[in-house]
Amino acid sequence: MSADADAAPPAAAPPAAATRPSPSPSKAEDGAVADVIADLEELRLLPAGPDEDSWSQRLDLCRRLLRLKVAYEARRQRLAPEAPILAVVTGGTNVGKSAVVNALLGQAVSKSSPLARGTKWPAILVHEADRAALQAARPIEGYAIEALTDPELPTRAVDRAVAFRHVHADDRLRGIALIDSPDVDSDYEANHRVADDLLLAADLVVFVTTPEKYNDDACMEKLRAAALLRKDIVVVLNKTSPAEAETLRADLRTVVDEAIDAGSGRGPEAGALVVVEVPAVPGASDPARLAGSVASLADIVCDRDAHADTRRRAVAGASENFAAGLDAIVTRVEEEARQIELFGEALRQARALSVAHYRRALDEIPMNEVDEIWRRVLEELRIPILDDAYDAVGALGRGLFRGFQKLTGSGAELDDAEGPGGRRVRKVREQEREEIRKAFAATERAIADAPGRVTEDYRVVADAWRARPPEATAQAAAADAALRRVEQLADDWINEETQRQVSKLADHPERREVLRAVRGALRLGPAVLTAWATGGFGPWDALTGPAVDLVMKNLFDKLGDRVYFQRRRGEHFRDRAALIGEESERLLIEPVRSRLPGAVAADVVDRLRAVAKRLETGGELAGAGS
């Protein structure tokens, strides 16, 4: 709120649109009260949740009730306990609200208008002795207080929330700040919000009506709201004959009693209801007639002895309604957080499904990592002339076989780049790629089923959280990318384990030489025997090298920490499966997770729950140790 000043009036603005800036919470609140206001601002509801509009309105009402009455009262008691009570004069269009305000003051300070959107901003009439205390307490927080230098000012559109103050010297009205409100049945939505704010802020409600307006739905709704908030209500039956007054009085009592009964669980003491009949409040030309027409109303409104009880009931009603509303909203927020958690758990399980599927598939796919490790270790045991000769024979054999295939057109060509096992490697790669796609498909199905994990009321909301799955081409590309990452992981593991075995041989050179001698003997021995038996070398000698390497690999497997390799292979498979989990998260799950609304922090919810419980038991807004 800006500093209270009797400076020049605000410049008129062009006609306002259907909405105008809402008052924002003050930054000046201190201590625990400011913490409660900040925590309440943190609360948010799920978009498109069940009865979203109704709950959004309840949250908005809670925030406004806190700011305009509950926090205001805590501030008033601390800074200005002698501040006057707030008496809001309200009612429908053209019922004579401004005329009643002028009549109570005995002078024309508030402009009357027959238009439904005539009064746009509050006009506050305060005694000069109450001005400082009212300024210190900062009523209707969020509205700038400016001087009412022209009765036209409350009817003008301005670009900020504002209330206009008129300072008077009428001692009858000392201890009470009269506030002229916009019409509660205005066809201008922005006026509605200002009128509602004033109703929340009021200690005393002066409800002006006429035989034509008293049963209007919008007017009666505001009367019920005032009764539910335990406000003292003075109903002014303007332009009413004695015959009409009797019927209206009974109807109004029924409306108020029903509202009190509806909120009976919220407090033992209802606000008082007084009905005052006024034959007709005259126009503003004759101040004496103005004052005389509402003499009985003035006696009621200006009864200072009743002000303390009036304020006490209004504060208690605001606190109880705020506590009940806050408790309900916190319960709703906790339920919505549970729905988000249920959906999030379904996403975590979707990732786990892809990992589990791929991990099972690895047990079924032929894997040759350990064979590759031993093949590379055998390279460290090469006997230069002997192994070169066998390599040449092997290459010659493969060349002859390739030529035969070309001539006959049978089978697939051997690929030197991939080695003798090239076809097997390609087959394993295709099999693994297909299993990755199946793992992604399992994740997609789990995501599609995720809305079924939340409660039925929230399934429409959860459906909106699901992102559209990627196209088939994108999934195929992702599977290829995942396969490349898997192959890189396998290569890194093979290199790491090969280096480990080679280092062991380097640390034990005698073992290295023994193994080299065994390998040489196994290669050379059969070749000499077959040459002696057949009288020379033959094509069968090309098989000696691979056979010897197979024997050596089995020997390594038995002597080279077989249990260790089984454990390391299992760890490697887990790492590969985790990598597929990361890819499914990136491709499928994260686009959905990014659409999930963030839940309200648990500590905020806990603190607000404690505030509601404290107020429900008659405690202060900011309890000890808050």
Confidence of residue 314 (pLDDT cuts 50, 70, 90): very high
Q: Which residue has the tokens 């005698």?
A: 510
How many CB atoms sit inside 10 A of residue 307's CB? 19
Q: Are 252 and 275 in contact (CB under 8 A)?
A: yes
pLDDT on residue 135:
94
Closest CA to 225 of 248, 254, 196, 203: 196
pLDDT on residue 128:
96
Q: What percent of the chain has pLDDT over 90?
A: 36
Q: Which residue has the tokens 């401004």?
A: 98
Confidence of residue 12 (pLDDT cuts 50, 70, 90): very low
Q: Are 349 and 453 in contact (CB under 8 A)?
A: no
436 alpha carbon, distance to own chain's centre: 34
Q: Are 595 and 27 in contact (CB under 8 A)?
A: no
Q: In 138-241, which ranges are continuous DSSP H helix?
A: 189-201, 217-228
* Tokens representing residue 55 in the block: 């709950």
Q: Which residue has the higher pLDDT, 299 or 422?
A: 299
Q: Are 16 and 157 in contact (CB under 8 A)?
A: yes
Q: Are 168 and 127 in contact (CB under 8 A)?
A: yes
Closest CA to 260 of 310, 226, 283, 288: 226
For residues 555-575, average pLDDT: 71
Question: In a 10 Å sphere around its CB, with 0-12 CB exposed, 13-18 middle and 19+ buried, how is residue 510 labelled?
Answer: exposed
- What letters, b where the CB count within 10 A reaches 16 and e where it falls short, cover 177-207? bbbbbbbbbbebebbbbbbbbbbbbbbbbbb
CA distances from 622 to 34, 70, 614, 617 (A): 9, 11, 9, 13
Whole-model pTM above 0.85?
no
CA distances from 135 to 4, 32, 80, 203 (A): 6, 22, 9, 17
pLDDT above 80: residue 193: yes
| C-alpha span between 326 and 324 (Å, rounded) | 6
What is residue 69's DSSP assignment? Answer: I
For residues 453-478, average pLDDT: 84
pLDDT on residue 555:
64
pLDDT on residue 626:
44
pLDDT on residue 552:
65
What is residue 173's DSSP assignment? Answer: G
pLDDT on residue 417:
42
Confidence of residue 457 (pLDDT cuts 50, 70, 90): very high
H/E element holding 175? Answer: none
Helices then strands (H, E): number in the chain? Answer: 21, 8
Please report, to the nearest 10 degrees, the dihedral formed by the alpha carbons of residues 140, 146, 152, 157 taken in order: -70
For residues 598-605, average pLDDT: 92
